[in-house]
Amino acid sequence: MSVSLCGIELSNCLMNASGCWCRTEEELDDLNISQSGAIVSKSCTLHYRKGNENPRYHDNELGSINSMGMPNEGVDFYSKYGLHRRKPYIISVGALSIDETLKTLEFVKNYDLIELNVSCPNIVGKPQLGYDMVELDRYLDIIFSRFNLKIGLKLPPYFDPIHFEQVAEIIKKYPVKFITVINSLGNGLILKGDGVSIAPKGGLGGIGGDYCKPIALANVRQFYQLLKDTDIDIIGCGGIKSGRDVYEHILCGATAVQIGTHLVKTGTGCFGRILNELSKYVGDKSLNEIRGKLKVY
């Protein structure tokens, strides 16, 4: 079940999605002793950030909605946590302004990989960078010209073939190590009774869980095909709650996967159960043999 992600050995292909069970020291400690193959931190900023007003998370039987607003302890905390971990550690950095991202990256230490989050849908007044091709290109140009770090990108869901092509072309210009697809489906709405279920932005928030799986699989698949001639790894994220879901992400081209809503709902025990289920689909093959082998007509 072990995999190599960007040259780093993981005991298995499962990890948490950034934002899920990874903000506080207690949560990170839970991940550290869980059966996940790696830990991903909450997307961090230069300083502590309170985030949006409550209630800001709600779930139902099909998934979740959140508008957390990137609450986090600040980069120094997540960097220092890297000293304690006993498995590969990915620090997620929230891409707010370019100036802040540059300053934050200066402070990132004690990590294996950086996941640059260019897709948070919940910052009031700030569009998702991943949907602005010109700005994304400019942003990456500045970052990669200043830093020689192992950086991957957390991308928003794309829906149109032309957007997949445009993003893939931008990514290929830079030494991007991996992409994580997808972040939550931005600005959805889940009702609770006759009203909204969360407070910020009039109830709009990022949608996770079962709602996301078909879109996540399509994003993994499309980027797998478009990035075939590179060594950029793909981390699948969206709608994973069983071994079968992981298997589907790997068939579409994922090297590793992240678990979000299901982890929040059920806790870190889900990693062991999902691994057990996955082993039945994988049999005596390696994950490398299965990756990308989606059958098509």
Residues acting as catalytic residues: 120
- CB nearer to ligand RRO: pick between 88 and 94: 94
| Helices (H), ranges, the chain | 25-33, 75-81, 98-107, 133-146, 161-172, 213-226, 243-252, 261-266, 270-282, 287-290
Question: How many other CB atoms sit within 10 Å of the CB of residue 294?
Answer: 16
In the complex, minimum distance from the CB of residue 52 to ligand RRO, in angstroms, rounded to a whole number: 7
Are β-strands 39-40 and 89-94 bridged in parallel, bridged antiparallel, or unpaired?
Answer: parallel
Nearest residue (CB) to ligand RRO, 69 versus 292: 69
Shortest separation between residue 189's beta carbon and ligand RRO, angstroms: 14
Query: Does an H or E element contain 181, and which?
Result: strand 178-181
What's the closest the beta carbon of residue 104 comes to ligand RRO, in angstroms? 13
Rank residues 7 and 202 by Cβ distance to ligand RRO and give the closer one: 202
Q: How far apart are CA 190 and CA 206, in angstroms?
A: 10
Question: Minimum distance from CB of 97 to ligand RRO (Å)?
Answer: 15
Expressed in angstroms, the distance from the first to the final Cα of the chain is: 29
Which residues, listed in sequence order, are joined to residue 103 by a DSSP beta bridge? none
Q: What is the DSSP letter of 72?
A: B
Judged by the rule CB under 6 A, the positions of this chain that interact with ligand RRO are 19, 43, 66-70, 94, 117, 119-122, 183-184, 206
Q: Which residue's beta carbon is nearest to the bound ligand RRO? A: 206
- In 10 A of CB 211, how many CB atoms? 21
Q: Which CB sits closer to ligand RRO, 12 or 261?
A: 261
